[in-house]
Amino acid sequence: MSMQSNKLYQYRTEIDLVYTAYGVEVDNRNMNPTHVVAHRGLTNTIYFNIRDRDRKLQTITTDEIRCYIVDATTRRRVVSKLLTPDQLEKGIAKLVLREGDIVNLVPGLYHCYFTIVKNKQMYDTYEEPLYSNQNNGLGFTMEVTDQAYSYPVETQEGNANIMISGPGDSNVFTTSAMFGNLDRNFTNCQHTMAFHINGYTGTLKVQASNIPYAPDPSIDSIDWYDVKTSTITEKGIIVNGQLGNEGCFYTNFNVACNWLRVVNTPADGNVNTLTKIELRN
């Protein structure tokens, strides 16, 4: 019997800023962090304590501090955010990086520096640097990680005009096998499939397979089982809120499977009128 004891911690990242006769500087105490971590997929909050030389918190109701995050390789600004009030009368402000602020950043190291906005109410507004040390250094190192980020599976596209019927049989087509839950184990097993049609009539059958390897694509393969069937007559189907045979319609279904495909049996004269299929897991 194996027993493990794991600890979880909840704490907040705090950086001390110091008011001086020449402006605002980052406190150069050894314990003051100059390396911060932001996690993609989560909201990250970094707190700033504005103190004087005697370590007393100072009121900062009249100052506006802006943060810039710069790609260390290209030197381009990738994020610009204002610090938001927390307890300004006590000298506390915070930088809130929402999930969407850094979702497009590649994990790695970035430069992060701060400025103070001056003359905000005037026409000649400008920004002064906020130094990271007393040697005129600018910025911190920000590490962006993807420990908490869940990568979405890209939309899959399928061509449903691959013939699988034998000679003398009615025309039956299919898509190639598309990923269902093979890539990862989704908890809800929900799938959305979109059908692009252009004057289509016939039957569309969604099939699934649970085998671990690529299933047999033949029409009478026992690797597949039926999930959902849509029959489109000459009167059409509801497409974009109207009855018709042209446009795009979708269907939702829940099934825990490794593979999905669509078997397309068009009516006579309607070959190639199902132009595209899209699958989103």
How far is it, in rounded angstroms, from Cα 185 to Cα 272?
34
Paired with 173 in beta bridges are: 163, 264
Give backbone dihedrals phi and psi of 138, rounded to 5 degrees, phi first: -115, 130
Domain 156-280, second-level architecture: Sandwich (2.60)
In DSSP notation, 19-56 reads EETTEEEE---TTS-SEEEEETTS-EEEEEEEE-TTS-
How far is it, in rounded angstroms, from Cα 186 to Cα 182?
9
**What mean pLDDT do residues 135-148 have?**
78
Specify the range with the lowest mean pLDDT, choosing from 28-32, 145-149, 216-220.
Answer: 28-32
The per-residue pLDDT for 34 is: 66
- So what CATH class is 13-145? mainly beta
Percent of the chain past pLDDT 90, that is, above it, reads: 13
The per-residue pLDDT for 161 is: 81
Average pLDDT taken over every residue of the chain: 76
Q: pLDDT tens for residues 34-69? A: 678 888 888 888 887 766 666 666 666 566 788 899
- Model confidence at 155, pLDDT cuts 50, 70, 90, reads confident
How far is it, in rounded angstroms, from Cα 135 to Cα 146?
33
**Which residues make Cβ contacts (< 8 Å) with residue 71, sequence separation at least 6?**
77, 78, 110
Domain with CATH 2.60.40.3350 in the chain: 13-145
Give backbone dihedrals phi and psi of 231, rounded to 5 degrees, phi first: -110, 125
How far is it, in rounded angstroms, from Cα 168 to Cα 95?
70
Give backbone dihedrals phi and psi of 55, rounded to 5 degrees, phi first: 70, 20
The per-residue pLDDT for 11 is: 52
- Model confidence at 279, pLDDT cuts 50, 70, 90, reads very high
Q: How many Cβ atoms sit within 10 Å of the Cβ of residue 230?
A: 15
Distances (CA, A) of 64 to 3, 54, 60, 246: 51, 23, 8, 55
Q: pLDDT tens for residues 171-188? A: 888 888 888 876 555 556
The per-residue pLDDT for 31 is: 43
The per-residue pLDDT for 22 is: 47
How far is it, in rounded angstroms, from Cα 258 to Cα 214?
9
- 209 three-class SS: strand
The single residue listed with the structure tokens 């002064």 is: 128
Q: pLDDT tens for residues 107-124? A: 999 988 878 777 766 667
- Model confidence at 209, pLDDT cuts 50, 70, 90, reads very high
Domain with CATH 2.60.120.260 in the chain: 156-280
